[in-house]
Structure 1
Amino acid sequence: MNNEFMTRRSRSFGLWGGAPFILQWLKILFVALALAWAGATQADTADDEYLRIYDLIQKADALSSNAPPATAVAKYREVYGLLQAFQRANPQWNSRLVATRLQYLAARVHELSQPVPAPEEPKAAARPETASGGRPSASTSEFQVKVLDAGVEPRKVLRLQPKGGDRQSAVLTMKLGMETKVGEAQTPALKLPALRMTMDVTIKEVGPAGDIRYEMVLGDAQVLDEADAMPGIVDAIKQALAGSKGATGTGTITSRGLNRALDFKSAAGAEPQMRQVMDQMKETFANFAPALPEEAVGPGAKWEVRMPFKSQGLKLDQTATYQLVSIEGERVQVRSSIMQQASNQKMENPAMPGLKMDLSNMSGRGNGQVAFNLTQMLPEKAEMDLQSEFAMSMNMGGQKQAMTMKMGMKTSLESKPR
């Protein structure tokens, strides 16, 4: 069976809606998961050999992006031959997965061998650039913020108020587990090692209207709980995360925490596939701050944030509800709950380019809490527990294969001024 798939992200209460972070890191974890799923009933030697071949596929994909087509074609053909030899030597090893990969390699050779079409004429209008030089990753008008209960007196207008030159350091930790079912075959629950990432944020400028322009630098990324992980997973994840250190981002958010733009750049010398992953993580890092209401609110206040979201072919409706627990000076504590729903649509399979998946239903529920200081951009402390379930199908060799995936994630962030 072929479990070589992942789903995409959604947007939520900054990082703490959970789904953006789950689905972006799943892209990074994919190499490790492919080994874990495909090799659950096979010998370690076959697993290791397939993982080496898969790494070569990734390198061929990278060449197709930054090298002449002939170079990439030669690499794809080389890997195709290796995978054919692997198939002959291991005929019982996940035959569908191997066959699908062979089809993918053949398709890439065919595509890159075609004549290059003449360039198109420039379009009259282009997507607007932002003041920071990056493309806007979301329009603030897409957020619908509605106060359900203004709370008790005294009430206060909540606005982020950092100053130019302020700096924060943060530690982000994520623990994720998942279960998958393909047809009637239930795979064992997969326990993934926890991930921890550090980052530094500097406020570059605060505009007259309160817009906050900032710069972010990613630090070390660590894999925790190594003893509990399946063989091969830890090394694969470490390799995938190696290129994240030194990546930088420049962005702009409003004083209400609504994202205007974010331009993310990977570290110098990073592998091409890591640069692609960092680009896909824009949506995750675009919304660290909470979405605050326009009106003044007091303790006990509740507000709702609705946002239809579309990314990489996934359309999702999301509703997040927040309750203001307390206000002490500039320090605010908030409880949050989130509901996500998507159904009846086709979406891209990020693990296998060009392969469409049919999503019949996706639902997610989560709860969390955030403590933040209005004089800082990042929360001082935040926690989120999210459970998501996906029901989908994929065409495998002319047959439609049903799949379900359940994911649970716990995320925490702690930050402090520097």
Structure 2
Amino acid sequence: MPQLSISGRRVPYVFAAALALVTVLTSCGDPEQSPDTPSATPTEFTVPVTVATVEVLDAGSEPRQSLRMNLLAGTTQATTLVTSTDVRQQIDQQPVQDISSPEVTIPLNAVVTTAASPENSTAVVDLTLSGMTTPDETLQAALGGAEGSGAGLTVTESGAITALRLRPSAGSANSARAAIEQAFGQAVYRAVALPTEPVGVGARWVVKQDVSSEIQLDQTTTVTVTARDGDRLTLAVELSQSPQSNVWNLAGNAGTLDIDQYVMAGSGTMTIDLNLPLPVSGELSVGGDQAYSDPDGTSVIRQSITNNIRWTS
């Protein structure tokens, strides 16, 4: 089952014989291929998204109304997704390394191809990616080959995303595909699910969701309605993550690491329109410090990670 790299975390592999730590980029395709090699990824693949549960803490002031997405077939929206990841890493007493991912700007043209119905409570949204840019010259060249790539979302009436489809173009290099996957991974798990109960301005609710990434995480998002203008809502968002286990099982049966420290939290704002599939605007920054050690405690890797996501229309 495909998994998204949403954190930008670099995965340290443990070699049992040497007890050494090295780093590789997760979700960047076949390690035997050059980053500029066209990807062998299928024409389209689907990444399931874990179920989000919502609990209302405060219904807010009157008047209170039920918040339901109203995504009619044929609805279109043009918006831009901007993501970046700052990663500083230190292995034992070695110098700190900057292994950040550059900012990537992805203009999106969205169209609702299937509306929700009594028989199927989810809407289907198709996305076309064009004119992607980044300040990194090497990645910019790769993004040019990914022109015309697409994506798709399955969205419930609560606004929760239940599936992400990615459709790389034939010319997409591995590095471009990885950058797009990471950007959408952030976008999907920063989406805000709405409560079923009627709420008003000042309402607060908690969204809980498992995050399937390099480390299995429990994610808690606290949402507050700060303003409402018709079907347009301004939301304050606070997010935190915690690991489900104190042991990291590395991909490819490469061993395990003990999770000695894990802090990942942040906040921001989001403006959504109940008639549009994507946020109208918003900005959210989530970051923290992590520390991992091999089971013998002979090597330690420390990382400081900040993920930034921004929506503009």
- Give the TM-score taking structure 2 as reference length: 0.78
Once the two structures are TM-superposed, the CA of residue 386 in structure 1 deviates from its matched residue by 1.5
Q: Distance in 2 between matches of 1:357 and 1:222?
A: 37
- Aligned residue in 2 for 1:410: 308
Query: For the residues of structure 2 that align with 1:175 and 1:373, how far apart are their CA atoms?
Result: 25
Is the 1:58–1:273 contact (alpha carbons within 8 Å) kept by the matching residues of 2? no
Q: Which of 217, 228, 236 is equivalent to 1:327?
A: 228
Task: Give the distance between the partners of 2:35 and 2:310, measured in 1 at CA.
Answer: 36
Whether the 8 Å contact between 1:307 and 1:318 is mirrored in structure 2 is yes
Equivalent residue in structure 2 for 1:183, among 80, 87, 92 = 92
Q: CA deviation at 1:347?
A: 3.4
2:248 is the alignment partner of 1:338: no
Question: Residue type of the partner of 1:216?
Answer: L
Aligned equivalent of 1:87: none
Give the deviation of 1:274 after TM superposition. Answer: 4.9
Query: 1:245/1:316 Cα in 2 relative to 1: closer, same or farther (>3 Å)?
Result: same
| Correspondences of 1:104-183 after superposition (within 5 Å) | 135=46, 137-139=48-50, 142-183=51-92
Q: Do the aligned partners of 1:176 and 1:192 also contact (CA within 8 Å) in 2?
A: yes
1:279, distance to aligned residue in structure 2 (A): 6.0
Tell me the distance in 1 between the aligned counterparts of 2:172 and 2:47.
24
* More helix by percentage: 1
- 1:56 to 1:289, Cα distance in 2 relative to 1, 3 A: closer
Tell me the alpha carbon deviations over residues 183-219 of structure 1, each in whole angstroms, 9 at most, x when there is no partner.
1234166676432221111111212145211101111
Partner of 1:249: 151
Q: Secondary structure at the match of 2:139?
A: helix
CA contact (8 A) 1:244 1:278 kept: no
Aligned residue type for 2:133: Q
Deviation at 1:166, TM superposition (A): 1.3
1:152 Cα offset (Å): 0.8
Shift of 1:345: 1.6
Q: Is the 8 A contact 2:139 2:176 kept in 1?
A: no
CA contact (8 A) 2:143 2:172 kept: no
Q: CA RMSD in A?
A: 3.5
Q: 1:90-109 residue pairs with structure 2 within 5 A?
A: none
**Which structure carries more relative contact order (alpha carbon 8 Å, separation 6+)?**
2
Contact in 1 for aligned 2:146/2:171 (Cα 8 Å): no
**Deviation, structure 1 residue 235:** 3.2
Q: 1:338 to 1:246 in 2, by over 3 A?
A: same
Does the aligned pair in 1 maintain the 2:116–2:157 contact within 8 Å?
no
Instruction: Work out the CA distance in 2 between the residues paired with 1:289 and 1:191.
Output: 23
Residue equivalent to 1:308: 210
Tell me, what secondary structure is at the counterpart of 2:33? helix
TM-score by length of 1: 0.60
Aligned residue in 2 for 1:384: 284
How big is the shift at 1:284?
A: 4.1
Mapped pair 1:271 → 2:173: yes
Counterparts in 2 of 1:179 and 1:293: CA distance versus 1, 3 Å: same
Contact kept in structure 2, 1:265 and 1:279, CA below 8 Å:
no
Q: Classify the secondary structure of the residue corresponding to 2:8.
A: helix
Quickly say closer, same or farther: Cα 1:176–1:286, change in 2 above 3 A.
Answer: closer
TM superposition shift of 1:402? 0.7
Amino acid at match of 1:338: L
Q: What is the distance in 1 between the residues matched to 2:152 and 2:304?
A: 34
Shift of 1:357: 4.8
Residues 402 and 23 of structure 1: is their aligned pair in 2 closer, same or farther, counting only changes over 3 Å? same
Q: Which residue of 2 aligns with 1:58?
A: 33
CA deviations over 1:254-305 (Å, ceiling 9, x no partner): 1111223232110023236655665676644545742101111011110001
CA displacement 1:219-275 (0-9 Å, x = unmatched): 122123xxxxxxxxx333334534432111233111111223232110023236655
Whether the 8 Å contact between 2:221 and 2:237 is mirrored in structure 1 is yes
Tell me whether 1:401 sits opposite 2:303 in the alignment. Answer: no
Please tell me whether the aligned partners of residues 199 and 217 of structure 1 are also in contact (alpha carbons under 8 angstroms): yes
Name the aligned partner's letter for residue 325 of structure 1: T
Contact between 1:136 and 1:260, CA under 8 Å: does it hold in 2?
A: no
- 1:106 equivalent in structure 2: none
Give yes or no for contact 1:197–1:220 (8 Å, CA) kept in 2.
yes
Q: 2:172 is paired with a residue of what secondary structure?
A: coil
Q: 2:36·2:142 contact (CA, 8 Å) conserved in 1?
A: no
- How far apart are the structure 2 equivalents of 1:182 and 1:157? 50
Q: Which structure has the larger Rg?
A: 1
Q: Verify the 8 A CA contact 1:8 1:23 in the aligned structure 2.
A: no
The 1:359/1:384 distance shift into structure 2, 3 A limit, reads farther
8 Å CA contact retained: 2:8, 2:307: no
Identify unmatched segments of 5+ residues in structure 2: 12-21, 23-29
